[in-house]
Structure 1
Amino acid sequence: MAATTTICIDPKTKSTLDSLKIYKNEPYNSVVERLIKMAYDNDPLTDEEIAGIEESLEDIKAGRVYSEEKVKKMLGIDD
């Protein structure tokens, strides 16, 4: 049997954990394990990908962007 540890959490956090349960009686341990698995990225971004994201953010800041309408016209897509 696994060891049990008691932790103190804010009531709002408990409510959030409750809303993340897949089924009503799912143990909090299962919810927390699922969240932990989601927090770790087994395929982290490469330096090249990070550089591309940074470049894109600079383009956005500099106003080098197209509206959705402009892109649709460029691609010949009609609504």
Structure 2
Amino acid sequence: MGTTIQLDKSVRDKLKELKLYPGESYNKVVERLISIKTDEGELSEATIREIEQSLEDIKAGRTLSMKEVKQRLKIK
């Protein structure tokens, strides 16, 4: 059995923008958003540290171009 909910027009418009195709129901959009949130979860402390380290590497110029990566991996 379905339930009717009230949404502000701005919320409905945002949901409409999130549709993957014109005929996708708002129910499917909401299910997908819930699934994304459920799957993501919270970042662990270790993951946060790794992200911070990566950002420091980028700022310090410790990066490789795609060309350099291909050369190191001997990929054409």
**Structure 1 length as normaliser, TM-score?**
0.68
Query: Offset at 1:64?
Result: 0.8
Deviation digits for residues 12-53 of structure 1 (CA, Å, limit 9, x no counterpart): 425414x335x72x4312321221221234553321121111
CA distance in 1 between counterparts of 2:70 and 2:25 reads 48
**1:66 corresponds to which of 57, 64, 67:** 64
1:49 aligned partner, one-letter code: T
Change (3 A) 1:14 1:71: closer
Equivalent-residue separation in structure 1 for 2:25 and 2:72 (angstroms): 52
Give the residue type in structure 2 aligned to 1:13.
K
Could you tell me how far apart the structure 2 residues matched to 1:62 and 1:2 are? 55
Give secondary structure in 2 for the equivalent of 1:4: coil
Aligned length: 75
Q: Gaps (5+ residues) in structure 1?
A: none
Root-mean-square deviation (CA, aligned residues, Å) is: 2.5
Calculate the TM-score normalised by the size of structure 2.
0.70
Counterpart contact for 2:57–2:63, Cα < 8 Å:
yes
